[in-house]
């Protein structure tokens, strides 16, 4: 395929390492020709596409909920020390995501998959946990970091979908991001519990300090290895292991295009870079 559309990168051997030198292109017509000829396409999405639907990214300078750095609450230790505080945080996230709507970027991806399902495989690998890709209609979806609307029992480990709002009565009208509120006084017995074994439930989210589920990681690795075109959409490319997926695909010869508001540390590893909101660039890139 690459001989037909023109290879934009050269591989050079230096100190026994393969180094990719890339001239990024913003030629949409050439990229669409790559898509047309591709048989296996992966969309790797991150917080940026969800941010366009009003979902807080909780990264960078604004990544706070109340007085807490959000990443400090997304840990097993935080849940052990204060499960009620962590549940208030995730209840807030569930409520925000439930009110959000898939944007034009989500919809463009889902529609592209639907139109091409007979002669291409289109897989979305997302780092997002808000469920917006599924709500937009994406069928072939790998959620690397879990889902806000799934729970996991800390005792029997059962994972279930839960769309209740609120997830339990004790969390009703709780979780507001008010910086004056410190801690949480909800008794543990009033938090979500397993209906089968009465164990305490936790969000089915991969927290900092935890590994991705092996089966999920394996599936993602397999589709990345098979893809001949990869779209990197709204991700900062700094969270591992997802950050290595697209650069590795580019290094082995797959065509990789990045769609982001601004360049990322991985941009120079890719063949194409399209700057702007995903809701604007993706509909054009994925149109017939």
DSSP 166-233: SSSGGGTT-----TT--S----GGGS-B-TTT-PBEEEEE--TT-PPPHHHHHHHHHHHHH-SEEEEE
Q: Is 46 annotated as a binding residue?
A: yes
Q: Fill in the DSSP letter of residue 118.
A: T
Q: Is 50 annotated as a binding residue?
A: yes
- Do residues 279 and 265 touch, judged by C-beta distance below 8 A? no
Q: Is 283 annotated as a binding residue?
A: no
Q: Is 128 annotated as a binding residue?
A: yes
- Do residues 128 and 46 touch, judged by C-beta distance below 8 A? yes
Q: Is 159 annotated as a binding residue?
A: no
Kindly provide the b/e burial profile for residues 99-128, where b requires at least 16 CB atoms within 10 angstroms of the residue's own CB.
ebebbbbbbbbbbbbeebeeebbbbbbbbb
Q: Is 63 annotated as a binding residue?
A: yes
Other beta carbons less than 10 A from residue 288's beta carbon: 8
Q: Is 127 annotated as a binding residue?
A: yes
Q: Is 54 annotated as a binding residue?
A: yes
Q: Is 185 annotated as a binding residue?
A: no
> Residue 166: is the preceding peptide bond cis (ω within 30°)?
yes
Q: Is 130 annotated as a binding residue?
A: yes
Q: Is 262 annotated as a binding residue?
A: yes
Residue from 91, 106, 133, 145 carrying the catalytic annotation: 145
Residue 193 known to be catalytic: no
Give the residue numbers annotated as catalytic, written as ranges: 145
Bind-site residues: 46-65, 90, 93, 127-130, 153, 156, 194, 197, 234-236, 260-262, 278
Bind-site residues for Zn(2+): 153, 156, 194, 197
Bind-site residues for NAD(+): 46-65, 127-130, 234-236, 260-262, 278
């Amino acid at each position: 395929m690459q001989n037909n559309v023109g290879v934009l990168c050269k591989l050079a051997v230096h100190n026994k390492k393969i180094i990719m030198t890339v001239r990024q292109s913003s030629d949409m017509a050439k990229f669409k020709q790559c898509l047309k000829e591709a048989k296996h396409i992966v969309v790797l999405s991150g917080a940026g596409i969800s941010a366009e639907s009003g979902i807080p990214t909780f990264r960078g300078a604004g990544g706070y909920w109340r007085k807490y750095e959000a990443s400090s609450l997304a840990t097993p230790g935080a849940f052990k020390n204060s499960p009620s505080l962590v549940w208030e945080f995730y209840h807030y996230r569930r409520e925000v995501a439930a009110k959000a709507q898939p944007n034009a970027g989500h919809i463009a991806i889902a529609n592209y998959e639907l139109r091409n399902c007979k002669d291409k495989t289109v897989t979305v690998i997302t780092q997002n946990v808000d469920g917006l890709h599924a709500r937009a209609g994406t069928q072939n979806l790998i959620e690397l970091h879990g889902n806000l609307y799934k729970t996991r029992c800390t005792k029997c480990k059962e994972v279930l979908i839960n769309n209740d709002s609120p997830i339990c009565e004790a969390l009703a009208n709780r979780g507001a991001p008010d910086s004056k509120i410190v801690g949480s006084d909800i008794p543990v017995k009033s938090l979500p519990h397993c209906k089968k074994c009465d164990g305490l439930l936790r969000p089915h989210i991969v927290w900092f300090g935890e590994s991705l589920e092996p089966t999920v990681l394996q599936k993602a690795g397999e589709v990345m290895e098979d893809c001949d075109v990869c779209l990197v959409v709204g991700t900062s490319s700094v969270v591992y292991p997802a950050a290595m997926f697209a650069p590795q695909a580019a290094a082995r010869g797959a065509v990789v295009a990045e769609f982001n508001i601004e360049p990322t540390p991985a941009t120079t590893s890719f063949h194409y870079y399209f700057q702007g909101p995903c809701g604007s660039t993706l509909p054009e890139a994925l149109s017939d």
